[in-house]
Amino acid sequence: MATVAYGKKQLQKLGTVHQQGGKYWVEYNGYCVSFLANGENRPDQSMICEHTVRIGQEADAQTDYFPGSYWPNLTQAIRYASRP
């Protein structure tokens, strides 16, 4: 599995990486591409929950609406956000 350090390096290629706790994300091409650190927030930990969502879409737990897509790896999430 890819590490948090690798994920941060990949996101830095797209723009400014933001972090809140163990969540890392970047806004790119109208999407928010993100992932979570698995367990402790350390560079050698693996990353999980690679996700893309259009900027401006927000989840609504009242209606079970959770926009975006989860991906098996960060490369696929980035490719999705990079498509024309």
* pLDDT mean over 28-33: 98
* pLDDT tens, position by position, 49-70: 999 999 999 999 899 999 999 9
Q: What is the DSSP letter of 46?
A: B
Which tokens in the block code for residue 65?
A: 């609406």
* pLDDT mean over 7-22: 97
* pLDDT tens, position by position, 32-52: 999 999 999 999 999 999 999
* Host domain of residue 23: 4-82
In this prediction, what percent of the chain has a pLDDT beyond 70? Answer: 100
Which residue intervals of the chain are DSSP H helices?
Answer: 4-12, 74-82
Domain count, the chain: 1
